[in-house]
């Protein structure tokens, strides 16, 4: 099962491992089709042409496969959807919880994935 967004979808933990190991900079938003998540997918969709050095994807929060994100230590204190993960060379460099604005997302992208 996948989300109904324009972003590439990560379906399994194995897919996620592959994506983050084959790409230097990756942003994955793990959520549902809800009001706190939709704005973040929308922002990522809009930024994907601007940040060609970053791979953007989403993952459905409720699949067992998403345990790789749900149970990540960086998300231990999270209690708000979506969980948004930023990976550099396969490692989590930042994770955010709940809705984020365009400014918050671009600030992280510029800081962690500077061209």
Partner 1 sequence: MENRHFDVIILGGGAAGLTAGIYLSRAKMKTLIVNEGTAGGQMVLTHEIANYPGVESTGGYMLGSTMKNQATSFGAKIFNNSKILSLDLTSDVKSIELARKGKFTSDAFILATGGRSRPLNVPGEDEFKGRGISYCATCDGDFFQDKEIIVVGGGNSALEEAVSLTKYANKVTVVHQFDHFQALEHYIEEAEANEKIEFIMESEIAQFYGDDKLTKVKIENMRTHEFTEMDIDGVFILIGYIPNTELFEEIVELTDRKEIIATRDMETNISGVFAAGDCTAKKYRQVTTAVADGTIAGLAAVEYLSNKK
DSSP string, 74-97: GGTT--SSPEEEEEETTEEEEEEE
CB of 33 to partner 1, least distance (A): 7
Instruction: Measure CA of the first residue to CA of the last residue in the chain; give whole Å.
Output: 34
Give the interface with partner 1 as residue ranges (CB under 8 A). Answer: 32-39, 42-43, 46, 50, 76-81, 96-99, 101-103
Closest CB 81 distance from partner 1, rounded Å? 5
CB of 73 to partner 1, least distance (A): 11
Nearer Cβ to partner 1 (15/39): 39
Find the farthest-apart pair of alpha carbons in the chain and give their distance in angstroms, rounded: 34
């Amino acid at each position: 099962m996948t989300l109904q967004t324009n972003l590439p979808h990560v379906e399994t933990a194995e897919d996620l491992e592959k994506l983050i190991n084959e790409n230097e900079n990756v942003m994955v938003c793990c959520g549902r089709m809800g009001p706190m998540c939709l704005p973040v997918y929308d922002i990522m969709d809009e930024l994907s042409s601007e940040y060609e050095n970053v791979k953007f994807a989403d993952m459905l929060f409720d699949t067992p496969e998403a345990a790789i994100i749900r149970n990540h230590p960086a998300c231990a204190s999270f209690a708000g959807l979506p969980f948004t993960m930023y990976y550099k060379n396969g490692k989590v460099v930042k994770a955010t919880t709940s809705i984020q604005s365009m400014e918050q997302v671009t600030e992280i992208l510029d800081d962690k994935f500077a061209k």
